[in-house]
Amino acid sequence: MKTIKSIIVEDIQVAADFLRKFCEKSGKVDVLGHFLNVEDALGFLNQNVVDLIFLDVEMPGATGFDLLDRISYSPKVILTTSKTEYAFNAFQYNVADYLKKPFTYQRFLESIAKIEVTSDIAAAKVDQDHLFIKVDTKLIKLQNTDILFVESMGDYVKFVTPNKKYVTLNTIKNLEEKLDKATFLKVHRSYLVNLTKIDDLDGNILLIQGNQVPISKGHREEVLKRLNII
Amino acid sequence: MIGTGPNSFVFSQDLDSGLLNDLYEGDLEYAEVVFGDFLKYLPDYFGEIEVAYNGKKIDELRKAVHKCKTLMGFVGLSTIQALYQAMEKKCEDSSNILDLETDYKQLQKQTESGRNIISTELDRLKAFNGTKK
């Protein structure tokens, strides 16, 4: 069985050690690293892909939510905190689970089971080269190769193709998980782009068939890495 | 199981034994490690509280209290953890450091008391684990 590749972002060593021990005991989760703050974690995440982040919220400097704003892809996230007030934010950020410290091994296993279930669902979708979106009362088939980029519009997203734009109820976060990661990249909190459709990069603006798409500071490094610049 | 047989270990009544039994599930060697780590990290963590309090930085104080509060949970100091929880909330609601003086002094006192409890408990754990080796 494939193990889940994870990192721990946690400023309390005892808590991190406790969690690492649970991961080892389960045999299901590999811990690739432990980081005491968000900056160090982002440095690692910009160079490595993980399946899961165990993320504390309150840390020196930036918070766990700042990390989620700045990361360029969407691994699963389990929040680990001793403060229940973050539950609402956790919901908004679409985290997989929320563990209140200290938590038991049984509770840890329940959390990992949730990750395994959602990963299975994602794996089942990997080979699809198209998707259906609901527009008004119709389901419209879009080939991945037709999508230039996707823009967030609050609770809706706009799919932009060469000839038409489609608005449907969805989120960038959700689409990032469902679309092919080799082709689509989040370049900004509100934009996913089809990498094969980028014509030019001008400063922090991507030009895609006459459209301008901004790149956020937090995503710039990953974009440059993926553009195959020589 | 901890605390059920004649040769089993029973956590001090000063600690939340139910929580500790759930957390460690009989792994008393690991409990010994964590109790030792608690004593190692506590001076630094409480030092952050002292620096923030003396510097009258309430938000820094809240963060340092939050960190220490979390640490308390791993060794079953639930009563003291509740004091930290209350202090953290007061930090959120207060703008004047003088409002926090009484609570701060109580935290100092209770934290020292907690440190002594854990120190004694660590000795008991070492003795118990030592007899099993």
Domain end position, chosen among A65, A92, A124: A124
Q: What is the mean pLDDT of residues A160-185?
A: 87
Confidence of residue B16 (pLDDT cuts 50, 70, 90): very high
pLDDT higher than 50, residue B1:
no
Task: Name the DSSP letter for residue A83.
Answer: -
Average pLDDT over chain A, rounded to an integer: 87
Q: Could you give the angle at the alpha carbon of B124 between the alpha carbons of B122 and B128, nearest 5°?
A: 115
Nearest to A194 by CA among A165, A225, A223, A155: A223
Chain A residue with Cα closest to B77? A102
Q: What is the pLDDT of residues B18-35, one digit of tens each?
A: 999 999 999 999 999 999
Chain B environment of A17 (Cβ under 8 Å): 33-34, 37
Residues A160 and A222 grouped into a single domain: yes
* Nearest-CB residue to B74 (from A18, A58, A60): A18
pLDDT higher than 70, residue B6:
no
* CATH T-level fold of B17-126: Four Helix Bundle (Hemerythrin (Met), subunit A) (1.20.120)
Q: What amino acid occupies position B44?
A: D
Q: What amino acid occupies position A47?
A: Q
Residues A25 and A113 grouped into a single domain: yes
> For A161-175, B37-51, B109-123, which range has the lowest pLDDT when averaged over its residues?
A161-175
Q: Is A21 on the interface with B (CB under 8 A)?
A: yes
Residues A212 and A151 grouped into a single domain: yes
Q: What whole-number percentage of chain B has pLDDT above 70?
A: 94
Residue A100 sits in a domain of what CATH number? 3.40.50.2300
Q: Is B66 on the interface with A (CB under 8 A)?
A: yes
Confidence of residue A15 (pLDDT cuts 50, 70, 90): very high
Q: Is B19 on the interface with A (CB under 8 A)?
A: yes
A24 or A60, higher pLDDT: A24
Domain parsing of chain B, residue ranges: 17-126
Residues A117 and A141 grouped into a single domain: no
Residues A155 and A110 grouped into a single domain: no
Q: What whole-number percentage of chain A has pLDDT above 70?
A: 92
Nearest to A33 by CA among A23, A22, A41: A41
Q: What is the pLDDT of residues A104-142, one digit of tens each?
A: 999 999 999 988 876 655 555 445 678 888 887 788 889
* Nearest-CB residue to A12 (from B23, B25, B71): B71
String of b and e for B57-94 (b: at least 16 CB within 10 Å)?
ebebbbbbbbbbbbbbbbbbbeebbebbbebbebbeee
Residues A56 and A109 grouped into a single domain: yes
Q: Is A92 on the interface with B (CB under 8 A)?
A: no
Chain A environment of B71 (Cβ under 8 Å): 12, 14
Residues A169 and A120 grouped into a single domain: no
Here the tokens at position A147 are 């999508």
Kindly provide the residue ranges of all beta strands, DSSP E only, lying in chain A, ordered along the sequence: 4-9, 29-35, 52-55, 76-81, 97-100, 130-135, 138-143, 149-153, 156-160, 165-169, 184-188, 191-194, 200-202, 205-208, 211-214
Show Cβ contacts of residue A12 under 8 Å, excluding neighbours closer than 6 positions.
A56, B41, B67, B70, B71
Q: What is the pLDDT of residues A66-119, one digit of tens each?
A: 998 888 777 899 999 877 777 667 766 768 888 999 999 999 999 999 888 766
3-state DSSP call for residue A97? strand
Expressed as residue numbers, the domain containing A28 is: 4-124
Structurally, chain A folds into a number of domains equal to 2
The neighbouring-strand residues paired with A152 are A157
Count the residues in chain B: 133
Distance CA A175, CA A132 (A): 12
**Mutate: best of B44, B70, B75, partner A, most A CBs <10 A:** B70
Residue A16 backbone dihedrals phi, psi, to 5 degrees: -65, -40
Give me the pLDDT at residue A12, please: 96
Residues A54 and A23 grouped into a single domain: yes
In this complex, do B34 and A102 lie within 8 Å of one another by their Cβ atoms?
Answer: no
From the number of C-beta atoms within 10 Å of its C-beta (0-12, 13-18, 19+), residue A188 rates as buried
Residue A214 sits in a domain of what CATH number? 2.40.50.1020
